[in-house]
């Protein structure tokens, strides 16, 4: 049973670039040992923290998109907890929410296409069309505007 997870960890600002890369290879090693794979790695670089963690005010953020099972994530969680260099980490399961998002998006385009066809228009929006209509709608929402002008 394969699931998709996102792992974000914040590395202490004292860590060198090699140490950050080393952490990544450690995570990769665990993922490969238990049988999953890393889909994407994204290093956000050094950012200011919104609040102090310990005595740190900055941190290096790394995002990994991992395809694997729950046991794998449990092991990664355990390892990151005992790694002193990682000051914070978060594991989120994303596949279910992503599925919901894709489905609503598909439904929306599908229903808008159906409505457009019913109105005798081509199913896809033409360039330069539509934007004006939306602005008009917004003004119609402002039912208070007439009062202010008077």
Partner 1 sequence: MNGKKSFGGGGGRGKSSGNQQNKDGQRRPMFRRRKVCKFCSDKIDDINYKDVRMLMPFVPERAKVLPRRISGTCALHQRKLRTAIMRARQLALIPYTTE
CB 72 within 8 A of CB 41: no
Q: Which is nearer to partner 1, 32 or 98 (CB)?
A: 98
Q: Which is nearer to partner 1, 24 or 34 (CB)?
A: 24
The verdict on 8 binding partner 1 (CB under 8 A) reads yes
Closest distance of CB 139 from partner 1, Å: 8
Cα 63 to the center of its chain, rounded Å: 9
Number of residues that bind partner 1 (CB under 8 A): 31
The verdict on 85 binding partner 1 (CB under 8 A) reads no
Give 35's contacts (C-beta < 8 A, 6+ positions apart): 68, 69, 72
**Which candidate, 85, 26, 19, places its Cα nearest to that of 53?**
85
| Residues 36-55 close enough to bind partner 1 by CB under 8 A | 47, 49-51, 53
Q: How many residues does the chain have?
A: 150
Give 42's contacts (C-beta < 8 A, 6+ positions apart): 62, 63, 64
Closest distance of CB 33 from partner 1, Å: 26
Q: Which is nearer to partner 1, 29 or 90 (CB)?
A: 90
23's tokens:
């952490």
Interface residue list for partner 1 (CB under 8 A): 8, 10, 47, 49-51, 53, 59, 61, 63, 88, 90, 92, 97-98, 100-101, 104-105, 108, 133, 136, 139-144, 146-147, 150
């Amino acid at each position: 049973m394969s699931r998709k997870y996102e792992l974000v960890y914040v590395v202490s600002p004292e860590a060198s670039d090699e140490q950050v890369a080393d952490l990544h290879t450690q995570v990769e090693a665990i993922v490969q040992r238990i049988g999953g794979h890393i889909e994407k790695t994204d290093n956000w670089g050094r950012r200011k923290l919104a609040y102090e963690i310990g005595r740190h005010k900055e941190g290096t953020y790394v995002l990994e998109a991992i395809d694997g099972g729950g046991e794998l994530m449990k092991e990664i969680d355990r390892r990151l907890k005992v790694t002193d260099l990682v000051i914070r980490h978060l594991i989120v399961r994303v596949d279910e929410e992503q599925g919901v998002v894709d489905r609503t998006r598909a439904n929306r385009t599908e229903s808008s296409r159906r409505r457009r066809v019913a109105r005798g228009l081509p199913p896809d929006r033409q360039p330069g069309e539509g934007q004006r209509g939306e602005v008009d709608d917004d003004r119609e929402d402002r039912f208070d505007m007439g009062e202010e002008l008077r």
